[in-house]
Structure 1
Amino acid sequence: MGLAEYMIVSEPDGWTVLHDGNAQNRYDTKEAAFEAAVAAASLAMREGHEIHVSVPGRDGGYKTALGAEDTQGVL
């Protein structure tokens, strides 16, 4: 069987999951994108594929550890 790779990536308006170079859905948080990727990876694993899931760490800027916008201090 082949390799199924899922990469969580940040976008200006949220997060997406790259799979085979395609990003079909948008998510508000990194956590939501991760949960979608893991659900897809679970199906691929059942089919016998090797699985890779990558998630970036906390980036500087406006996003929290879970990838939502940081609204603290915003009036």
Structure 2
Amino acid sequence: MPYDERTKLEALRDQMETYGKGANYLLLGHGAGFAGSLSIVKEHPDLQPPFQFINVPIILFGSGLLLSAAFWFFSMILKSV
């Protein structure tokens, strides 16, 4: 059965809604990881050997937070089309 234009648009909106939910989980996960990494730096500012490589998770969670925010933004724009 061929799709008409309305059915394609509804399918796109449903897909973008699913992407938006996934983006919410990405935002939550990366935000929690970023906050946890920054709290380690706050508690241990001298960064002794167990915490000497904490800058790697900070960079990864921070970039993941920015990219997931962009993903959420674009999925919401496409959802409203």
Same fold (TM over 0.5): no
The TM-score bracket by the shorter chain reads 0.3 to 0.5
Greater fraction of residues in strand: 1
Bigger relative contact order (CA 8 A; separation at least 6): 2
Could you tell me the TM-score, scaled by structure 2's length? Answer: 0.33
Greater fraction of residues in helix: 2
